[in-house]
C-alpha cells in the first residue's frame, strides 16, 4: 500500500514537473517573440523617425504618438488592436503601421504571421517588398491588389504564389489605417465605397398624426424593460448590480423614439410650422436634425453631462462611422404638436454637422449606451440599437455613373469574391479542362477502344496539368489543405477561408466528387501537377529505353503503408501545432517543384530532384510510397459508389498481362484492382478492349475461327485424268 502511494506521489510530482517545464518553455518562447516584435518595431521607427520618442499606447486602438520635442511626427499602432481579419492560415496577420499627421501611411511592416506559403515557401522579403508600396498612400484612398474597374483606385501588383495572403494584408493595412486615422481626426469619416449623398425632398408634405408616422416608420421606437437590461449585463462585471426583482422586471427602463426632422411630413407635423421653419433656417447645407424623445427611469441625456462635453449616452452610427454629439449640437425641445403623441419626460434635437457626411437616404442607427457602475471610477457599458431608414418618398437619390456603381459593388463585395473576379481567366480554363476530364471519365469505354488517340490525349492533359494548373495557376493541392480543413471542422469553420483561393477550391471540389464516383486515382493520375511531372519524365525515360526496375509485389505492397504512417505523424503534429505540421509537410516536394518552380534553397531543390531522378527508373516512387496527400485521399476512396474499371474472370488466373503492364503495380496478382492505389491511367482498360492484345479476347477469337463450320454447298473442282501413251 505504501509502495503504491509512493509511486502515485512520484507520478503526480512528475506530472507537475512536466507541466512546469512546458510552461517555462512557453513563457520563454513568448518572451522571445515579444522581444523580436519590439526590436522590429524599434528598427522601423528609427528608420523613418530617427531620434523621435514614443508615447505610451492610448485609446481603444492602442495608438502611440511619435514626437520630437514638441512636434508631432506621426502615430504608430499594431493592426491586431484595430481589425481581426483571418488570413489564409486561419490566423490574423499582425502589422505595425505608421501614419503621419496628414493621414498618409509612412510604413506598414509585418510583425507576426502564420502563412504557410511564407513560412516554408516564398521568401518573406517579398512580403516586405509588397508592404513597402503602401508608403505615401493616404488612409482614405482605395487600394486594390491587381486590376480594378475603379480608375480612382490605387493598384498594387500581387506577390506571385501568395495572392490570397497579400489581398488579406491589403485589407488589414487599409482598414486599420482608415479606422485609426478617422479616430484621430486625420481624415474625414466614411469610406470611398459609400453611395452619393441623397437629398431630402422639401416639396413632399402630408398632414399626419402620431399613429400614422409611427406606423409608416417615419418615427422609430426602442422600448427596453428592466429585465432586458439585466439580461444584457449577464456575464459581465456588472451582473447583479441594481438588478430588478421578479415584480419589476417588466417595468419600463426607457421608451425611446427617434425621427429625422428634415422631411416636412415629419418635421412640420412634429414641431409645428413655425418651429420647423426656424429650425430649417438655422441648419447649414448638409446638416440634419434628429429628434430624440424619451420616457422612463433612464435619461438618454444623462445627469453627468457638462457644458463643452459630449453626450455619452446617445450617438449615431452610419457606414461604420460614429457620430457623437456635443453641447453645440444640442437644442432643447420643449413640446411637440402632434395628435396622439404620448407624454415624454425629456426631448431633444441633435444636429448632425456637414463634416459627418451624413446620408439621409442610407440606413443609420441610434445607439443608446447604458452604463453600470462597478467601482468608484470604473463601470461597464452595453449598447442598444434603434435602426432607422428614411422612407423613399421623402428623399431624392442622385444617379451614380456606371463606373461609380461598379466601384461601389466591387468595394462592398467580400474579399473572396474579389479574388474570384481577379482570377476569372484561370477559373474559366480550369473549369473547361475539368469538363473535358469528366467527359473522358464518363465515356472511358469509348476512349479506351482508341488507345493511340487516348495516349496522346492523356499526355497533352498531363502537360496542361503541370504547366497551367501547377506552374501558372498554382493549383497544387497539399496535405496542409487537408489538415486545415479537418481542424476547421472542429474549431471555427468558415467558407471564406477555403473560397479565398478559387483554383484550389475548384480542384478540391472536383476531387471530392470524383473520389465518390471513381476513387482517388482521378486526382493522382490526372490533376496532380507533381504526379503529372513524374509521369511525363518516366514516359520520356521509357522512350529512351532507360531500364525500368520494379519491386517484388510482396515488398511493394508493404511499402504502401509508409504514406499512411507519414499522414498520421503529420496529423499528430498538427494537433500540437499547425505551424510545426506545415513545416513537417515539407516531405511533399510540391512547393519546391511546382509552386516555386525550383527557385528555392538548394536542399529543398536537391530533395525534389532526387525524387524525380528515382522516378526515371521506377515510375512514381514518391506517389506510391511516401505521399501523405495520396494517403488522405485513399481513405474516403472506400466510400466510392461505383466500380467503373472492367475485369474478366480470366484476369489474374491465368492471365497476368494487366498486372505486369500496370506501371504503378496497382493490380494484385489475383487480378483485382486496388482502388486505393490506382491512378486511373486507363491502360488496363485499353488492354481490356484490345482484341489483338488481351489474351482472353485473343483466345476467344481463335476458338471462333476454329469452330467455324464449312460451307453447306461446296463446289466440285473437275479433275482431268491424263493417260500416258
> What SS3 class is residue 518?
coil
What 644-651 contacts at long range (C-beta under 8 Å, 24+ apart), as own/partner pairs, is 644/441, 644/444, 644/517, 644/518, 645/673, 645/678, 645/684, 645/685, 646/445, 646/685, 646/688, 647/671, 647/672, 647/673, 647/688, 648/688, 648/696, 650/695, 650/696, 651/696
- pLDDT cut 90: percent of the chain above it: 33
Residue 16 scores a pLDDT above 50 = no
Exposure string for 60-76, b = 16+ CB within 10 A, e = fewer = ebebbbbeeeeeebbbb
Residue 6 scores a pLDDT above 50 = no
Residues 157 and 208 in one domain: no
Residue 449 lies in a domain: yes
Residues 423 and 511 in one domain: yes
pLDDT value for 709 = 57
Alpha carbon distance 175, 724 (integer Å): 120
Residues 178 and 204 in one domain: no
Residues 446 and 576 in one domain: yes
Mean of the pLDDT values across residues 273-289?
Answer: 92
pLDDT value for 629 = 94
- Residue predicted with more confidence, 237 or 182: 182
Alpha carbon distance 660, 656 (integer Å): 6
Residue 18 lies in a domain: no
Q: Which domain holds residue 684?
A: 413-701
Residue 203 lies in a domain: yes
- Residue predicted with more confidence, 501 or 458: 458
pLDDT value for 150 = 47
Residue 112 vs residues 28, 115, 169, 387: alpha-carbon distances, Å: 17, 10, 12, 38
pTM assigned to the model: 0.55
Alpha carbon distance 25, 327 (integer Å): 55
pLDDT value for 707 = 67
pLDDT value for 653 = 85
Residue 30 lies in a domain: no
Residues 430 and 388 in one domain: no
Q: What share of the chain is helix, strand, coil (3-state, %, to 5)?
A: 45, 15, 40
Dump pLDDT digits (tens) for 597-641.
888 889 999 999 999 999 999 999 999 999 999 999 999 988 888
Residue 16 lies in a domain: no
Residues 336 and 447 in one domain: no
Residue 501 scores a pLDDT above 90 = no
pLDDT value for 578 = 78
pLDDT value for 508 = 92
Q: Looking at 123, 156, 182, which one is the last position of a domain? A: 182
Residue 186 scores a pLDDT above 70 = yes
Residues 483 and 578 in one domain: yes
Residue 82 lies in a domain: yes
Residues 360 and 220 in one domain: yes
Mean of the pLDDT values across residues 129-154?
Answer: 74
Residue 90 lies in a domain: yes
Side-chain-side CA neighbours of 2 within 13 Å: the count stands at 0
Residues 428 and 386 in one domain: no
Residue 371 lies in a domain: yes
- How many domains does the chain fold into? 3
Residues 391 and 457 in one domain: no
Residues 201 and 153 in one domain: no
pLDDT value for 119 = 47
- pLDDT cut 70: percent of the chain above it: 82
pLDDT value for 724 = 52
pLDDT value for 115 = 65
Residues 686 and 569 in one domain: yes
Amino acid at each position: 500500500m505504501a509502495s503504491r502511494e509512493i509511486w502515485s506521489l512520484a507520478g503526480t510530482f512528475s506530472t507537475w514537473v512536466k507541466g512546469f517545464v512546458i510552461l517555462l518553455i512557453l513563457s520563454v518562447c513568448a518572451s522571445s517573440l515579444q522581444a523580436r516584435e519590439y526590436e522590429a518595431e524599434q528598427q522601423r521607427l528609427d528608420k523613418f523617425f530617427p531620434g523621435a520618442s514614443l508615447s505610451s499606447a492610448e485609446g481603444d486602438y492602442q495608438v502611440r504618438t511619435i514626437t520630437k520635442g514638441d512636434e508631432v511626427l506621426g502615430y504608430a499602432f499594431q493592426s491586431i488592436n484595430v481589425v481581426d481579419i483571418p488570413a489564409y492560415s486561419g490566423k490574423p496577420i499582425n502589422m505595425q503601421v505608421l501614419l503621419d499627421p496628414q493621414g498618409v501611411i509612412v510604413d506598414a511592416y509585418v510583425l507576426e504571421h502564420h502563412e504557410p506559403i511564407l513560412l516554408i515557401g516564398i521568401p518573406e522579403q517579398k512580403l516586405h517588398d509588397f508592404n513597402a508600396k503602401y508608403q505615401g498612400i493616404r488612409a482614405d484612398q482605395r487600394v486594390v491588389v491587381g486590376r480594378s474597374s475603379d480608375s480612382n483606385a490605387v493598384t498594387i501588383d500581387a506577390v506571385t504564389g501568395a495572392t490570397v495572403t497579400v489581398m488579406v494584408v491589403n485589407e488589414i493595412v487599409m482598414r486599420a489605417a482608415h479606422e485609426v486615422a478617422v479616430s484621430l481626426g486625420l481624415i474625414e469619416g466614411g469610406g470611398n465605397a459609400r453611395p452619393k449623398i441623397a437629398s431630402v425632398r422639401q416639396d413632399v408634405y402630408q398632414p399626419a398624426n402620431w399613429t400614422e408616422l409611427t406606423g409608416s416608420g417615419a418615427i422609430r421606437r426602442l422600448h427596453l424593460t428592466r429585465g432586458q437590461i439585466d439580461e444584457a449585463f449577464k456575464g459581465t462585471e456588472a451582473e447583479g448590480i441594481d438588478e430588478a426583482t421578479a415584480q419589476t422586471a417588466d417595468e419600463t427602463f426607457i421608451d425611446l423614439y427617434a425621427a429625422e426632422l428634415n422631411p416636412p411630413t415629419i418635421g412640420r407635423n412634429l414641431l409645428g410650422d413655425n418651429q420647423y421653419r426656424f429650425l430649417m433656417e438655422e441648419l447649414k447645407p448638409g446638416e440634419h436634425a434628429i429628434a430624440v424623445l424619451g420616457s422612463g427611469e433612464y435619461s438618454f441625456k444623462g445627469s453627468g453631462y457638462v457644458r463643452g462635453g459630449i453626450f455619452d449616452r446617445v450617438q449615431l452610427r452610419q457606414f461604420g462611422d460614429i457620430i457623437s454629439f456635443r453641447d453645440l449640437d444640442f437644442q432643447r425641445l420643449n413640446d411637440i404638436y402632434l395628435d396622439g403623441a404620448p407624454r415624454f419626460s425629456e426631448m431633444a434635437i441633435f444636429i448632425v454637422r456637414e463634416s459627418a457626411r451624413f446620408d439621409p437616404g442610407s440606413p443609420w442607427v441610434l445607439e443608446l449606451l447604458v452604463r453600470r457602475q462597478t467601482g468608484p471610477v470604473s463601470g461597464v457599458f452595453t449598447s442598444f440599437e434603434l435602426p432607422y431608414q428614411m422612407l423613399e418618398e421623402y428623399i431624392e437619390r442622385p444617379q451614380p455613373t456606371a463606373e461609380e456603381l461598379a466601384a461601389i459593388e466591387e468595394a462592398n463585395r467580400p474579399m473572396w469574391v474579389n479574388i474570384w473576379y481577379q482570377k476569372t481567366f484561370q477559373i474559366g480554363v480550369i473549369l473547361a479542362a475539368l469538363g473535358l476530364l469528366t467527359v473522358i471519365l464518363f465515356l472511358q469505354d469509348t476512349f479506351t477502344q482508341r488507345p493511340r488517340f487516348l495516349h496522346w490525349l492523356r499526355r497533352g492533359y498531363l502537360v496542361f496539368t503541370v504547366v497551367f494548373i501547377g506552374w501558372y495557376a498554382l493549383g497544387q493541392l497539399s496535405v496542409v489543405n487537408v489538415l486545415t480543413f479537418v481542424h476547421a471542422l472542429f474549431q471555427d469553420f468558415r467558407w471564406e477561408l477555403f473560397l479565398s483561393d478559387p483554383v484550389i477550391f475548384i480542384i478540391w471540389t472536383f476531387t471530392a466528387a470524383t473520389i465518390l464516383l471513381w476513387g482517388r486515382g482521378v486526382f493522382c493520375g490526372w490533376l496532380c501537377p507533381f504526379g503529372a511531372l513524374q509521369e511525363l519524365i518516366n514516359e520520356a525515360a521509357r522512350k529512351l529505353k532507360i531500364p525500368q526496375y520494379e519491386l517484388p509485389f510482396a515488398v511493394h505492397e508493404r511499402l504502401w503503408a509508409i504514406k499512411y504512417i507519414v499522414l498520421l505523424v503529420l496529423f499528430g503534429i498538427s494537433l500540437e501545432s499547425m505551424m510545426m505540421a506545415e513545416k513537417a509537410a515539407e516531405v511533399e516536394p510540391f512547393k519546391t517543384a511546382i509552386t516555386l518552380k525550383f527557385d528555392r534553397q538548394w536542399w529543398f531543390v536537391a530533395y525534389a530532384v532526387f525524387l524525380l531522378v528515382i522516378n526515371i527508373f521506377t515510375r512514381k516512387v514518391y506517389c506510391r510510397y511516401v505521399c501523405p496527400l495520396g494517403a488522405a485521399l485513399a481513405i474516403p476512396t472506400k466510400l466510392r459508389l461505383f466500380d467503373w474499371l472492367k475485369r474478366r474472370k480470366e484476369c489474374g488466373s491465368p492471365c497476368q498481362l494487366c498486372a505486369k503492364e500496370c506501371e504503378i503495380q496497382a493490380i494484385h496478382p489475383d487480378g483485382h484492382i486496388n482502388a486505393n492505389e490506382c491512378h486511373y491511367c486507363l491502360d488496363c482498360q485499353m488492354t481490356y478492349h484490345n482484341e489483338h492484345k488481351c489474351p482472353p479476347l485473343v483466345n476467344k477469337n481463335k476458338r471462333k475461327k476454329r469452330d467455324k463450320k464449312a460451307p453447306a454447298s461446296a463446289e466440285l473442282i473437275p479433275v482431268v485424268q491424263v493417260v500416258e501413251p
